[in-house]
Amino acid sequence: MFEKMLLPLDGSELAETAIPFAEMLAGKLGSEMVFLHVCVPEHEPYRHMHQIYLSHIADTVKNKIKSQWGKEATIHTESLMGKPADIIHDYVPKNGITMLVMTSCGASGIKALLGSVVDRVIRSVNVPTLLVRVKEGRAPQIKPAEVKKIILPLDGSEASNSAIPYAIELARKLSAAVILFQMAETVYAHGMDGLSAGVGVNWDQIDIATEKYVHAYLEKVEEQFKQKGISTSHVVKLGVDPANEILELERKTEDGLVAMATRGRSPVARWAFGSVAEKVLREGSLPLLVVKRG
């Protein structure tokens, strides 16, 4: 599941902030690693320097994994020519990559995530991607050793459930607890104009029934984790905007990591999971494992 990780590096300190997370995953999951630098054509004369840079990073990481986890890490380095997003897109399936680890900013500096290399990669590559978010030039909000909880937002659909096996694997290997989350959409989200036809209907009772349904669903999912020996709890919020609710839970979970699928639609709440994941991806601060469901 996380057998072979790819970590693209562009030579910037921002991109390198993902390295400690890759080290931790390789140390605890036993993953093989590939450090990749994509060299734009105008930098071709300096390509050998990029390879030296990658080799130095690889040696440093090997030593850290050996000293901290007592494992001999398998690390490859590669410098290729072309456009970063295109090279990564082609490299992943051709080389058996099962996971990407990236930061949300690179050598070009602080910029909006949408339209960046990271965004294009997430949209085009069908393997889980761990994003280490860096904002305003600051270090990540959390250090790898501090990841003690995994927030797993769900919407009841098969698509969103595709993140469950990855959350189970991470929780087991990181000895982390799991917090399942789902928003129960209130009927008032549709506005009073849309409810006026239902004169005499007890809308509050409908909300209560919706919350009860969601609790029952999450309790079933919770049992899957507990059968694996994983400490698990669940949170249900009655609301309107699932992305805001996820971000609020994230802010309250300082020692966490978020794992979520990027597509899906709830048969109950009827909110598009793809747009929710995109907002969490743009505005969140904790590391985010994006599981893309095609």
Evaluate whether 259 touches 291 at the Cβ level (below 8 Å): yes
What CATH number labels 4-137?
Answer: 3.40.50.620
pTM over the 0.75 mark = yes
Task: Kindly tell me if the per-residue pLDDT of 90 is higher than 50.
Answer: yes
pLDDT at 187: 79
pLDDT at 293: 67
Q: What is the pLDDT of residues 260-284, one digit of tens each?
A: 988 644 443 344 446 787 788 888 8
Span 180-199, mean pLDDT? Answer: 71
Mean pLDDT of the chain, nearest integer: 85
Instruction: CATH number for 146-287: choose from 3.50.50.60, 3.40.50.12370, 3.90.550.10, 3.30.565.40.
Output: 3.40.50.12370
Q: What is the pLDDT of residues 63-87, one digit of tens each?
A: 999 999 999 999 999 999 998 889 9
d(C-alpha 38, C-alpha 104), whole Å: 16
Evaluate whether 40 touches 108 at the Cβ level (below 8 Å): no
More confident of the two residues 43 and 289: 289
In the chain, what are the domain boundaries? 4-137, 146-287
pLDDT at 272: 44
Query: Quick one: the chain helix, strand, coil %, rounded to 5?
Result: 45, 20, 30
Domains 4-137 and 146-287 share a fold: yes
Q: How far is CA 207 from CA 194, 202, 218, 255, in A?
A: 15, 9, 17, 32
Output the CA torsion 263→265→266→270 (10° steps): 130
pLDDT at 22: 94
Closest CA to 232 of 218, 247, 242, 245: 218
Burial 182-213, CB ≥16 within 10 A → b, else e: bbbbbbbbeeeeeeeeeeeeeeeeebeebbeb
Evaluate whether 119 touches 206 at the Cβ level (below 8 Å): no
